[in-house]
């Protein structure tokens, strides 16, 4: 089981338990991983004239999505970066005096970190 599939299963459990903090953090980690896996080809097809390419061809104004699967290590790095980003933002909000937002971001970081530790352990 990959980290992405683990987080997707975890997402369902969090929705059933209505854990908003963990749900937000896990959902953002899934999005970050999927965004890292996805790139778009926006150049015109070069293998044949555009009129001859039916499926998979790219014409001007269109994009084809290309998904590259990441390793578990790469996925974990991305998810850990999400934890670090939340902690950094939490510190920044605390400095600005927005304690409620800072506490929410810190709680999300801790929740996501717990989910990642559960997967790794």
Kindly give the parts of the chain with pLDDT less than 50.
50, 52-54, 57-58, 60
pLDDT on residue 42 = 59
Domain 3-37+69-120 top-level CATH class? mainly alpha
**What tens digit of pLDDT does each residue of 39-59 get?**
766 555 555 554 544 455 445
Q: What is the 3-state secondary structure (H, E, C) of the chain?
A: CCHHHHHHHHHHHHHHHCCHHHHHHHHHHHHHHHHHHEEEECCCCCCCCCCCCCCCCCCCCCCEEEECCCCHHHHHHHHHHHHHHHHHHHHHHHHCCCHHHHHHHHHHHHHHHHHHHHHHC
Domain ranges of the chain: 3-37+69-120
């Amino acid at each position: 089981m990959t980290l992405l599939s683990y987080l997707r299963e975890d997402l369902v459990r969090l929705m059933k338990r209505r854990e908003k903090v963990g749900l937000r953090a896990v959902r953002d980690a899934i999005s970050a991983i999927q965004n890292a896996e996805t790139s778009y080809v926006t150049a015109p097809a070069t293998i044949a004239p555009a009129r001859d390419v039916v499926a998979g061809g790219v014409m001007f104004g269109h994009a084809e999505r290309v998904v590259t699967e990441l390793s578990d290590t790469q996925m974990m790095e991305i998810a850990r970066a999400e934890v670090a980003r939340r902690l950094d933002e939490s510190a920044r909000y605390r400095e600005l005096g927005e304690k409620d937002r800072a506490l929410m971001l810190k709680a999300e970081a801790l929740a996501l970190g717990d989910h990642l530790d559960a997967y790794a352990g």
